[in-house]
Amino acid sequence: MSDSDARIAALEARLADLETERAVRHTFTRYMALCDVPATVLEGESLAALFTEDAIWEGVGTHYAQTFGRSTGRAQIVAMLSRYLPPTPHFTTNVHFVTSETIEVNGHHATGRWIMMQASGYVDGSAELIGARLVVDFVPSKSGRNWLIAHFRTERLFDAPWSVNPRAALLPPEQELPA
């Protein structure tokens, strides 16, 4: 292999990794958006479409292992998540912010790590800020066009009470109540 061919092969490999990172980020961002309340849903999107058939979703650490446990398989994961999303009355508002992203690509496997801040208002009028560590494994779909969640792990790092106007998320901006 000539030096030129080696450089082209190296660039192609780097480009493939960058494209994988972008696809992983897209899947993860759609997951977070679909878990927000109210959710931003585009036609044809669903949480189920973001997971492999045999995916694992689990809470780890002292608090989340007990709260969430471990769900195995796409159907079980979607059923568990649905307990927290409309039309089930749980959140009045729920917004996810993520930071400290790292995505490592290793061929047909990628692992993303994020720190998440979740601002949640509940139907009982309480609210809290939650900090969590997320570690998520991804694999390419059978078509290879997108990447799917194979193993989602969340660990609560902290929580703090928060004051929120629970009606604000339900009203159009022109009707929001003053703070």
The pLDDT value given to residue 41: 74
Residue bearing tokens 């003053």: 178
Lowest mean pLDDT among 63-67, 100-104, 134-138, 153-157: 63-67
Above pLDDT 90, what percent of the chain? Answer: 69
Nearest CA to 36 out of 98, 113, 110, 115 is that of 98
Q: 24-54: per-residue pLDDT in tens? A: 999 999 999 999 998 777 777 899 999 999 9
The answer to pTM > 0.85 is: yes
Give the dihedral sign, CA 111/112/115/116: negative
Residue 90 belongs to what domain range? Answer: 3-175
Closest to 139 (Cα-Cα) out of 113, 107, 115: 107
Containing 121, the helix (H) or strand (E) segment is strand 110-122
Q: What's the structural domain count of the chain?
A: 1
The residues, ordered by sequence, that sit 6+ positions from 98 with a Cβ below 8 Å of its Cβ are 28, 32, 114, 115, 116, 117, 134
- Determine contact, residues 146/23, Cβ cutoff 8 Å: yes
Is the pLDDT reported for residue 173 higher than 60?
Answer: no
Mean pLDDT of the chain: 89
CATH code for position 112: 3.10.450.50
What is the predicted pLDDT for the residue at 52? Answer: 97
Residues 116 and 97: their CA atoms lie apart, in Å, by 6
